[in-house]
Amino acid sequence: MLFAVKMDVRIPNDLDPDVRADTIAREKAYSQELQRKGIWPHIWRCVGQYSNLSVFDVRDNDELHDILWGLPLFPYMEIEVTPLALHPSDIATTGEAA
């Protein structure tokens, strides 16, 4: 199942700098491992924001839920999840050329 996930990060300004650096480093390692496994095939930065728009390819809602809750930055995020379905006009999935 594919999901588009918008993540807005709001780390408190008064968070200890060492905790902040450690959390961000763990977040990067966690997300890159999921990318290598093909679970997190797309991640884009939202220009001018501490946000990203990502696509997850997971088995079901529960797997996505567990992945999101496992994000080290999860306590500092607002997350919006949108389930995705194939579009009948998408030439990449229908095999039709323009």
Q: Is 97 part of a structural domain of the chain? A: no
Q: Which amino acid, residue 74?
A: F
Q: Is 78 part of a structural domain of the chain? A: yes
The predicted-structure confidence for 24-82, as pLDDT tens digits, reads as follows: 999 999 999 999 999 999 999 999 999 999 999 999 999 999 999 999 999 999 999 99
Q: How many domains does the chain have?
A: 1
Instruction: State which residues form the domain around 68.
Output: 2-86
String of DSSP letters for 38-94: TSS-EEEEPTTSSEEEEEEE-SSHHHHHHHHHH-TTGGGEEEEEEEE---TT-HHHH
Task: Residue 25: give its domain's CATH number.
Answer: 3.30.70.1060
Q: Is 94 part of a structural domain of the chain? A: no
Q: Is 20 part of a structural domain of the chain? A: yes
Its pTM stands at 0.89
